[in-house]
């Protein structure tokens, strides 16, 4: 099946244990600077920081607000998408 024929209905940014603050910054840049939003056909879109420290730093920098404004859920660190 060609990749361009697959309809995206779930979006996951993060990792259970390994998303770093640099990853969160890069994803937030794409969302904010390129004006991206969660598409209406997407049923689930979440951002999961890799640790409590990454979450705290991202919130200090306002990255959580960028994701929330674009329609993402801002989740607690840990297992998420696989569950």
CA–CA gap between residue 2 and residue 11 (Å, rounded):
19
Please report the pLDDT score of residue 35 as a whole number.
86
Q: What residues does each domain of the chain span? A: 3-74
pTM, whole model, 2 decimals?
Answer: 0.88
Please report the pLDDT score of residue 74 as a whole number.
97
Series of mean pLDDT values for 10-residue runs along the chain (83 residues): 90 84 95 91 94 96 98 90 71
CATH ID of 3-74, from 3.30.360.10, 3.30.499.10, 3.40.190.10, 3.30.390.50: 3.30.499.10
Main-chain dihedrals φ then ψ at residue 14, nearest 5 degrees: 135, -155
Q: Is 81 helix (H, G, I), strand (E, B) or coil?
A: coil
Q: Which residues make Cβ contacts (< 8 Å) with residue 70, sequence separation at least 6?
A: 31, 32, 36, 37, 38
What sign for the dihedral angle of Cα 6, 2, 27, 19?
A: positive
Please report the pLDDT score of residue 27 as a whole number.
95
| DSSP designation for 58 | H
Please report the pLDDT score of residue 16 as a whole number.
72
């Amino acid at each position: 099946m060609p990749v361009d024929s697959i309809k995206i209905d779930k979006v996951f940014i993060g990792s259970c244990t390994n998303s770093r603050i640099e990853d969160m910054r890069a994803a937030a840049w794409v969302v904010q600077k390129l004006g991206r939003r969660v598409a209406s056909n997407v049923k689930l879109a979440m951002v999961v920081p890799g640790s409590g420290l990454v979450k705290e730093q991202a919130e200090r920098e306002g990255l959580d607000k960028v994701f929330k404004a674009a329609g993402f859920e801002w989740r607690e660190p840990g297992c998420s998408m696989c569950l």
